[in-house]
Structure 1
Amino acid sequence: MDSLMEHRSGMNPAQANRMTLGTFNLWSDLVQQYSRCDLTRPSDKLHAIAGVAKLFEEFTGDEYVAGLWKSYFAAMLDWRVFDPKSRDPAGYRAPSWSWASVDSPVWTFGLSAGAEFLVDLAKLVIKTRTPDKMSAILGASAVLKARVIPVVCQSIRMPFATFQAPAGNFKVQIHPDTIDTKFTEGDKISYMPLKLDYQYGESGERIPYVVCLMLEENVQSLELQSQYRRLGCFVLGQENGNEISSLCFGSETREVEII
């Protein structure tokens, strides 16, 4: 891991226990490449990368959490699947917010200078088989301070969906994490605005868009009413007359648990 050592040599004491941007990009690239590997046992997904994760942990001092890193937790939630498959039936191996929970290649998205993350990490709980954080995960949850907006699926013409939200209807291209979830008209789900970013038009003007996670409420939850699982994501832009401000910033933030 020569690249990791190069990033380490450029660190200063103020960056202790936190990844540098270069190391974040290095891990993101590694995840993309690793997610394309054909593992004999998909259930070993986190176990097989544990040795590399241990090196990152030793060099950065950051906290490893089910394939993500605590100091960049919100940024590392921005992964997408473009060719979803069924989830491995062998059993639980990672929380729904981790790329390791799916068996498809994932695309991770870097950090642009103008990006603003719209969620804050409040609490992380990871239960592993042994005291070693790199061992098999038995359960995990992340409590986020975020906006979660309920919607009803009005029409589904994959890969496009039209949702009815409190602020109005909007149409987007959706990216399900797996093919196990069947989106149908009348379904009730929620979305969480994750990241505000910009692209540039022909005249150089900034055009905003928001990356949103699709969530389903965990109806079996007894501890917290606001407990969700990740279903996928979509990007909400201004096309089709979408009003980003009211659709993404019209509700109050609250603590929600993602499992």
Structure 2
Amino acid sequence: MTLKIQVSFEPPFYAGKDIIGAQHVRIRVDDSLGGHEFRWPIYTSLHDSCADEVLARDRLRRMKSTETCSLALDRLSQCLNNHSECLKPVQNRLLPTRVIDCTDPERPKLYLTGGSTLGSYVALSYVWGEDQPNKTRECNLGQYSQAIEAHLLPQTARDAIWVTNTFGERYLWIDAFCIIQDSTEDKRREIAKIPTIFADASFTIIAARSFKASQGFLHDCPPPSVLVYRLPFPCRDYRGSFGTMYVEQDKNSDYDASVEIDDPVHKRAWCLEERLLSPRAFAYTSSTLRYYCQMSRINVGNAVRQLDGQTTRRLNIDWKPQVDERLYDPITEPELDHNRRTRLWDNILHNYSGRTVTHFEDKLIALAGVASRFSVRWEKGEYLAGLWMNSLPHDLLWRVDYNARLPRPRGFRAPSWSWASVDSTVEATKSHPRETLLYELKDCEVKLASDLLPFGAVTSACLRMRARLVQAIWRDDSLYVRPPRVDSSFSRATGSGKQQEAEPKVYRAWLDTTEVCNRSVWALLICWRSKAAELAGLIVEPGEAPGEYMRVGCFQDYPRWMSTDSFQDLSLHDITFV
């Protein structure tokens, strides 16, 4: 059998001056049975003779090294000098109430700024994963302001102090030490400042790979599990000279993303907010050191592989933390712009809701900073326990994947109509251009746990509305409606005189939790989507008080059990939705 082998090289990809995609070697093998083509990224070492031609490098694996820090600072400098879309940090800005002075990494201390001191600082985003016995309390605040003995610090804090000092910064903000952990008042006051704290930091250190605070993040990264071949590379500048290239047999160039997606930081709710609020961040991942800004998500040291600069799939969100964008009102904005921006919140919510919180009451609090930024984006955006008044019909129709349901949490955290009332990952409904509302909102009431956190925890909330309700029953994992009386003309139109099904099955229905629901319920009609000929609504059951209803699920249907016009003729009932 005769084989014909062709080898070619693809050029790198750039975004501005940044290389975001490695060169690839393309190998085509033809034989009598046909052809096969292979395409793999290549890289070389910095000092190799072909380094001017093969531009990608190996991943950085030594995290606690001055060389790694130097390359990280170079990446930061390139961002500040070349990225017009990235806001430059203000050098003299207000420091947070408390920061850790890292001048002496072996003997750091808590610096009480008084809220009026100017300077620059770094913030840390990490997973607690365990109790921190030496966190700041009212009883040790004075002691820590003199010095914090190094052995009292968890390894992640010690590593962050080393990075801060080595990067040439003096101050570091860590929540466990810069918030008085046994003071409810101080926690509420400082948590309210978190959006500003992360937005104003010179950069954020993300301890992405650490499962708990005592683990640290500066240990070396293991080599990649993909196959890597060492091959000669013919240099153009030197006749007969060969350098060394490394061919990484990772067909889809997704090794880094697939490894990083399992990093602990992507499982914790607080860490998403901190990531989104940070204009610049260095993420110490399981595979290498990565840099995030408004224009790129890229491995430090030009260790690029794929075109999109090693985008983390779970964080591939079109979001910018700056608050000086043009204000807009989704009611008056063009339809496509409204939908695009609505989906932005939906994508963040989907990512966030699948993450865990240590404290039950933090479900809304840990997204409050991001919500506050949306309130600036949406000039008239009133926030209702996780939903937005301007897109309330859309927001009410969130759903949980039926096979991923979790038990309903005990105790009150949010009203039943809010996604924050469940622990499962939620999915927003699709945006539809033409919807007819089938309810009337009369009033809403939300009581906050603290006025310092207008986008945080709530103690109670309800929607008072005039709603159209249709009796239904949940049976055999499906929803069946009990249609109200139907006129004869509709019967003829739908069945040519045949008798209509007594309890027609709804096309799609989802329960919110794992609790058994073998009983009578109600279908609360939210909207009719004329373009899709689709009815959307919620599954509700009576609450404790008369006229009170609670959500237990949602549905979508292409109803044959009632005409479109007949929906508007249904009686409206005054209800309190809790």
TM-score range, shorter chain: 0.7 to 0.9
Q: Deviations over 1:19-46 (max 9, x none)?
A: 9444322111111111121333343110
Q: Which of 499, 520, 525 is the equivalent residue of 1:188? A: 520
CA distance in 2, matches of 1:59, 1:49: 16
CA distance in 1, matches of 2:480, 2:572: 24
Secondary structure of the structure 2 residue equivalent to 1:229: strand
Q: Which of 344, 354, 357 is the equivalent residue of 1:36? A: 354
Q: Name the residue aligned to 1:176.
A: 511
CA distance in 2, matches of 1:150, 1:127: 31
**2:572 aligned with 1:253, yes or no?**
yes
Q: Name the residue aligned to 1:100.
A: 420
**2:369 aligned with 1:51, yes or no?**
yes
Higher RCO (Cα < 8 Å, 6 or more apart): 1
Gaps of 5+ in 2: 1-275, 277-293, 295-318, 486-501
Amino acid at match of 2:503: N
Gaps of 5+ in 1: 199-205
Shift in alpha-carbon separation, 1:88–1:229, aligned structure 2, 3 A: same
Number of corresponding residues: 237
Using the size of structure 2 for normalisation, the TM-score is 0.38
| 1:145–1:256 Cα contact (<8 Å) kept | yes
Q: Name the residue aligned to 2:328.
A: 11
Please show how residues 1-259 of structure 1 align to structure 2 within 5 Å. 3=319, 8-9=325-326, 11=328, 20-61=338-379, 62-82=381-401, 83-89=404-410, 91-131=411-451, 132-151=453-472, 153=473, 156-158=475-477, 160-167=478-485, 168-172=502-506, 173-180=508-515, 182-184=516-518, 187-197=519-529, 208-218=533-543, 220-221=544-545, 225-238=546-559, 241-245=560-564, 248-259=567-578
Q: Deviations over 1:113-135 (max 9, x none)?
A: 12333223221101112224223
Of the structure 1 ranges 23-32 and 64-73, higher mean CA displacement relative to structure 2 is found in: 23-32
Identity %: 25
CA distance in 2, matches of 1:163, 1:73: 24
Shift in alpha-carbon separation, 1:106–1:88, aligned structure 2, 3 A: same
| 1:116–1:197 Cα contact (<8 Å) kept | yes
CA distance in 1, matches of 2:351, 2:323: 20
- Please tell me the root mean square deviation across aligned C-alpha atoms, in Å: 2.9
Amino acid at match of 1:254: H
| 2:470–2:481 Cα contact (<8 Å) kept | no
Of the structure 1 ranges 27-36 and 112-121, higher mean CA displacement relative to structure 2 is found in: 112-121
Shift in alpha-carbon separation, 1:7–1:80, aligned structure 2, 3 A: farther
Larger-Rg structure: 2
Amino acid at match of 1:28: D
| 1:171–1:242 Cα contact (<8 Å) kept | no
Shift in alpha-carbon separation, 1:98–1:247, aligned structure 2, 3 A: farther
Q: Deviations over 1:2-60 (max 9, x none)?
A: 64559942738x959xx944432211111111112133334311011011111112332
Q: Deviations over 1:224-248 (max 9, x none)?
A: x32100010111214xx53354884
CA distance in 2, matches of 1:57, 1:47: 15
Shift in alpha-carbon separation, 1:74–1:195, aligned structure 2, 3 A: same
Q: Deviations over 1:36-94 (max 9, x none)?
A: 213333431101101111111233231111001111112210111112110122x2110
CA distance in 1, matches of 2:432, 2:484: 30
CA distance in 2, matches of 1:165, 1:143: 25
